Amino acid sequence: MKDLDDIPAIMAEIGARSKAAAAELAYAAPSAKAQALEAAADAVWAARATIVEANARDLEFGRDKGLSDAMMDRLLLTEERIKGICDGLRAVAAQADPVGAVIAEWDQPSGLHIKRVRTPLGVVGVIYESRPNVTADAGALCLKAGNAVILRGGSESFHSSQAIHACLVEGLRASGLPEDAIQLVPTRDRTAVSEMLTMTDTIDVIVPRGGKGLVGLVQREARVPVFAHLEGIVHIYIDKQADPVKALNIVLNAKTRRTGICGAAECLLIHQDVLDTVGQGVIRALLQAGVRVHADETLMAIEGTEAATSEDWGREYLDMDIAAKVVPDIDAAIAHIRQYGSNHTDCIITEDDAAADHFFERLDSAILMRNASTQFADGGEFGMGAEIGIATGKMHARGPVGAEQLTSFKYLVTGDGAIRG
């Protein structure tokens, strides 16, 4: 490796190696990829003491840096969490291999037989923040899809990610796959991120996983295509025809089950006709569960709520907070979501099919739900196995991004001497 101060040179070398590895990975045997992931899981488990030790250094760095409790919790690796990482690797190993799968197949009158088959994307760059387990998840999903991956973890999880990465490389080595298939940027220097965003010759797509700072940087600087992962500004609209019990259970679950995930509800919209019959009960239950309710003028009448400011609409709390507002009708709810939502996940609670259809048709979130907790916005819950995140853009991947979404396709056309007239 070059001088660690010469970031462009380091990144150029990593890029060139990734591209070479990707060319080989594109036709690697499915069994070799599965074997590499199994071996990586074994290696992670065998190295759990080393990983916990590396994690302790990161935790110390985090404490010195004054990270919040939530951030420190994301950073923490316990033996149980390490077992979760191993389980994740084995689950991806066990999934069907997407590469080469025939998506469609048909004959043309000209005598041509046409197949559309899945191919790897090439080289994926993953830029993430504190959670060290992303190292394993992203590495595994990219490998499964036949892609080489360049991982750039957060500076907080630097040592933990390195320890996990070493195990992934051990898996690659054990199965005879190129070690450069999964590379980790070996520096905390942030200019490595800017570098990645412009490596159009070697990186095919960037997957950014992080907060507003990272998203802004990506929007300003990226020249490489991006699978955008914006915030989850998740709305739940309680319709005029909402079932009161479903409304109560869903809103409570969507807000409080886990507040730190992107599918957690952040804003509640209540149809004015059911404010007394459904809405008030839901707000009181939220307050009772310890949620701070940032209420509009009408809902402020309920004891325990606090006045919402303009900052509360379109805000991702990721905490025991929710914004709440009364709307005159479904179209006002839709207009609010269009203005303040992030096209991640939005939900309607209603027994009225026409209202649900209207909501599904007029909104364009990656995930639209009816009568279900938004905490189901998750690749595992969609049956996709692991996920690298929830894409909120409209290009290529959208919603939960699993191995299949990390592929492209090509056409294989077979004739028997066919010429065009």
C-alpha distances in Å from residue 415, one per residue of 106, 107, 115, 231, 409: 12, 10, 12, 48, 20
Q: Write each residue from 361 to 380 as x if it is in contact with its own copies (CB under 8 A), else as -, in one continuous string.
A: xx-xxxxxxxxxx-xx----
- Pick from 61, 106, 192: nearest CA to 183: 192
Interface segment toward its own copies; rule CB under 8 A; list 38-46, 163-171, 294-302, 358-366: 358-366
Site for its own copies, residues 304 to 323, rule: CB under 8 A: none
Given 31, 78, 110, 309, the residue binding its own copies (CB under 8 A): 110
In whole angstroms, give the CA distance from residue 15 to residue 301.
59
> How many residues make contact with its own copies (CB under 8 A)?
63
Shortest CB 267 distance to its own copies, Å:
18
Nearer to its own copies, 253 or 298 (CB): 253
List C-alpha distances in Å: 261 to 254, 321, 378, 388, 413. Answer: 10, 13, 10, 13, 44
Pick between residue 165 and residue 398 the one whose CB is nearest to its own copies. 398
CB proximity list for 405: less than 8 A, separation 6 or greater: 391, 396, 397, 398
Long-range contacts of 311-315 (CB under 8 A, 24+ apart): 313/267, 313/339, 313/340, 314/233, 314/267, 314/339, 314/340, 314/341, 314/342, 315/233, 315/266, 315/267
Angle at the Cα of 27 (from 24 to 31), degrees rounded to 5?
Answer: 110
- Tell which positions 243-272 bind its own copies, by CB under 8 A: 243, 245-246, 249-250, 252-254, 257
* Of 66, 213, 290, 383, the one binding its own copies by CB under 8 A: 383
**Cα 218 from Cα 201, distance rounded (Å):** 17
Comparison of 70 and 104: residue with beta carbon closer to its own copies: 104
Site residues for its own copies, window 37-96 (CB under 8 A)? none
User: Is 277 one of the binding residues for its own copies (CB under 8 A)?
Assistant: no
To its own copies, the closest distance from the beta carbon of 148 in angstroms equals 13
**Residue type, position 40, single letter:** A
Nearer to its own copies, 321 or 346 (CB): 346
Q: What is the dihedral of CA 258, 260, 262, 266, to 10 degrees?
A: 80
Using DSSP's 3-state secondary structure scheme, residue 311 falls into helix
Concatenating the DSSP letter of every residue in 89-108 gives: HHHHHHSPP-TT-EEEEEE-
Tell me whether residue 71 or residue 121 sits nearer to its own copies (CB atom): 121
Near its own copies in 327-356, by CB under 8 A = 338, 356
Only segment of 9-17, 82-90, 115-123, 232-240 that touches its own copies (CB under 8 A) = 115-123
Q: Is 122 in the site for its own copies (CB under 8 A)?
A: yes
**Shortest separation between residue 23's beta carbon and its own copies, angstroms:** 8
Q: Which one, 304 or 415, has the nearer CB to its own copies?
A: 415
Q: Which of residues 199-218 bind its own copies (CB under 8 A)?
A: 200, 204-205
Residue 59 near residue 72, CB atoms below 8 Å: yes
Rounded to 5 degrees, what are φ and ψ at 79? -60, -35
**Shortest spacing between CB 368 and its own copies, in angstroms:** 5
Query: Residue 271 class from Cβ within 10 Å (0-12 exposed, 13-18 middle, 19+ buried)?
Result: buried
Residue 48 or 118 with smaller CB distance to its own copies: 118
| Per CB under 8 A, 196 contacts its own copies | no
CB of 390 within 8 A of CB of 208? no
Give 334's Cβ-side CA count (13 Å radius).
Answer: 14
Tokens in use for 253? 């679950």
- Please report which residue ranges of 26-178 form alpha helices under DSSP H: 30-46, 48-65, 69-75, 79-94, 133-144, 158-174
Contact between 108 and its own copies per CB under 8 A: yes
Nearer to its own copies, 68 or 339 (CB): 339
Smallest separation, CB 205 to its own copies (Å) = 7
Question: Shortest gap between Cβ of 97 and its own copies (angstroms)?
Answer: 14
75 or 121: whose CB is closer to its own copies?
Answer: 121
Q: Are the beta carbons of 374 and 235 closer than 8 angstroms?
A: no
Quick one: which of 398, 401, 402, 403 contacts its own copies (CB under 8 A)?
A: 398
Retrieve residue 76's tokens. Answer: 């923490």
Q: Which is nearer to its own copies, 44 or 124 (CB)?
A: 124
Please report, as residue ranges, which positions from 401 to 420 form the binding site for its own copies (by CB under 8 A): 408-420
- Summarize as ranges the residues that interact with its own copies (CB under 8 A): 23, 26-27, 106, 108, 110, 112, 114, 119, 121-122, 200, 204-205, 219, 225, 243, 245-246, 249-250, 252-254, 257, 338, 356, 360-362, 364-373, 375-376, 381-383, 394-396, 398-399, 408-420
